[in-house]
Amino acid sequence: MRCHQHNQARLEWSAGFLAILFMLAGCEKPPASFPATVDPGDTIYFVPVREKVVALTFDDGPNEPFTCAILDSLRKHGVHATFFMIGANVEYFPETARRIVAEGHAIGCHTYSHSRFDLSSSNDIMKDITSGSRTIASTTGITPSWFRPPYGINGPGMEESCRTNRMAIVGWSLDANDWNPHSPEDIAEHIVANVMPGDIILLHDGWETRHGGDRQRTANAVPLILERLLKQGYTFVTLPELLRRAGPPLAEFANGVRLLGLQTTGKPIRAGDEFQARYCWDVPTGWNEHSPRAFVHLQLEDRPCLFQDDHSIPSRGDVRDRVVKRTIAGPLSVSPGRYRFNIGLFDPRNPDIRNRIPVRSIYPHSSGKVQLPVAVTIAADTGAVGAAAISPGGTDSLTWTSIDVNSPLSQGDAHLIQVGNRAVMLIDTGDPSAMGMLLRWLNDHQVGNIESVVISHGHRDHYGNLINLIVRGISISNVFFNPPSPKHIDAESYGVSKDDLHSISVLCRQHNIPVRDITSGMEWSWGSNITMKVLYAFDGDHTPVGETDINDMSAVMMLTCGKTKVLFAGDLNAPIGRHIVENRDTIPIQADILKAPHHGTEGTVDNDFFKAVNPAVIVVPTQAALWQSDRSKRIRELTHDKRCLVNGIDGDITVRFNASVTGNPSYAIFVSGYQ
């Protein structure tokens, strides 16, 4: 590697984000520059650069008519990208593959058949990679030098297969999430609001090996992305060109760990608000012995640290898991100003302030800590959360609100149960990305005390905001949660984090909040006519149907108010759903209202489950786009003769109950709707 010397460091700002860009100062021992080439079998997912350059990459093509529509947009704007093609799709659309090369785009291999490497043998992986590369080469005349594993999942022998085929492995640092049914505007806004120089951006022009798979939303989003980022002064380049423009990392530690990039919000926030930070770390090959832990202090000029974002740095695993995405909770009582990120590493074998790992950086650094120019600005308006709990009605009234915590790019559950003036239970807390939606609702309704928080199951879109609620000063008396086992966490790392669960445990202990198991038969009672009972709760390992996934660890609960029943089904999948239906004599699930699983219909409970519950009203806490997609078609058809309410369409959904034990079920439903 060559070491590039420059005279100054430069921070460039752009609306919607803060990103660090720098030139090497004439220091004695500057950090080594990022290599301009990548060896076969090695992985890149982000490139530190000195200019406003990014790389657009497209997976799963060629796929008509959508690939050509994207190519037309790229040609119109004079932009080159990198296409990771599937061999089977190249055979089906050979002319499109040749057009990609003819128009100057870089190409990579995405296997021949888009197989799941975590379910494949090393021999099968070698065959799929080799076949894909050969098909692409024979069709286009170009042997690919880049490889991206399907789903971003590594597999046995993948690196060796790539070395044999002379291909480097490519991940991504910014995912457009266009594999979910988001609108073109949502896809574009997500990229524009979160981009930083050096990003490798992931989009899809195809859908695995489905010829003609619908990617119209992506095709329509591409010109929006190009126009907005070009206007901001960005240049789009291919992967090889992005590497040629590489500069040094932000920080290089003595143990070989490097901080390549850091991005956070460029918009001022209020005290007490949450904000996102995205860290691009790189650890040495073979780093598995210890998990290095970063300390991140946010400081106002030279004052003492007021809040922090300490976190573990992942070892080299699946390429999809390289970026560390964090939701940081700002304290409620904090002075307005510009809070800079100060970052360092503890020795993992001896995490003590006296054992910080030495660091090199062009930015001010001492005692193993680097003061970076990236910062978050806290505005003067505090927007503190109120301390009183207020709900309409007398002491025997019951109100359930399905709080809308579904943003365009995330879905989740958050259900508040209020009895009189008491917030007695919050079932789930939504995804961290929707913290602002939950906090605003609690603030607007002056809810500052919650007696019990129940996490139905261990996915981030259900437990994700528990930490933030505690940090923001919401008083919680009890937490009920059955965390998934390490085996389940490893199998579903896309939806749950060991760090998250550890932080929940530590924070609850620090705030003297007991964390209790959820067990079948557990019951809460609020007065003589209002109860919540757990009908089913298993750990995922010892169930009546054998081992299950985390969704089937959902606690199934029945809320009863007088004659009215509401079934909270978590995110049940088919195996446990069938068991409950078959045993409905002992697990009674008939209810007037059903809180349905929100994750679509690919694995969710069978039709017989909905028929057994037989509700008059169904509440679905999901996004409008997901509800209107093919993925939810089965549930939509099942509910055509019922009243069906969807958070992403109807907003907050509030049900007020009559607790009388006489007469028919009695309740009134109110929705906030969308403007």
Structure tokens at 506: 């530590």
How many CA atoms are closer than 13 Å to the CA of 332, on its beta-carbon side?
15
Which residue type sits at 391?
Answer: S
Active site residue 39: no
- Report the alpha-carbon distance of residue 221 to residue 187 in Å, rounded: 6
CB 666 within 8 A of CB 658: yes
Distance separating alpha carbons of residues 248 and 260, to the nearest angstrom: 8
> Which among 295, 297, 264 is positioned nearest to 279, based on CA atoms?
264
* Angle, helices 122-140/94-102, rounded to nearest 10 degrees: 70
624: left (phi over 0), alpha (psi -120 to 50) or beta: alpha
Cα 74 to chain centroid distance, Å, stands at 28
**How crowded is the C-beta side of 380, counted as CA atoms within 13 Å?**
0
Size of the chain in residues: 675
Task: Please say whether the dihedral angle defined by the alpha carbons of residues 76, 82, 86 and 87, taken in this order, is positive or negative.
Answer: positive
Q: Is the peptide bond before 65 cis (omega within 30 degrees of 0)?
A: yes
**Sheet containing 643-646, strands listed edge to edge, beginning at the edge strand earlier in sequence:** 523-525, 530-536, 556-561, 564-568, 593-595, 617-620, 643-646
Distance CA 451, CA 475 (A): 8
Find where tokens 């909905």 sit: 610
> Residues 11, 331, 479, 438: is their CA dihedral positive or negative?
negative
Known catalytic residue at 488: no
For residue 184, which of 222, 231, 234 has the smallest C-alpha distance? 222
How crowded is residue 304: how many other Cβ atoms within 10 Å of its Cβ?
A: 7
- E strands in 614-664: 617-620, 643-646, 653-657
CB 419 within 8 A of CB 527: yes
CB atoms within 10 A of CB 11: 14
Question: How many degrees, rounded to 5, is the angle at CA 347 between CA 345 and CA 352?
Answer: 90
| β-bridge mates for residue 667, sequence order | 657
Q: Rg of the Cα trace of the chain?
A: 26
Q: Output DSSP code: residue 604.
A: B
Distance between alpha carbon 231 and the CA centroid of its chain, in Å?
A: 28
Decide: 420 and 394 in contact? Cβ < 8 Å: yes
- CA dist 378 and 382 (Å) reads 9
CB 464 within 8 A of CB 439: no
- Which is catalytic among the residues 204, 311, 365, 579? 204
The two tokens of residue 637 are 């058809």
CA–CA dist 113, 150 (Å, integer): 9
Question: Could you list the active site residues?
Answer: 59, 204
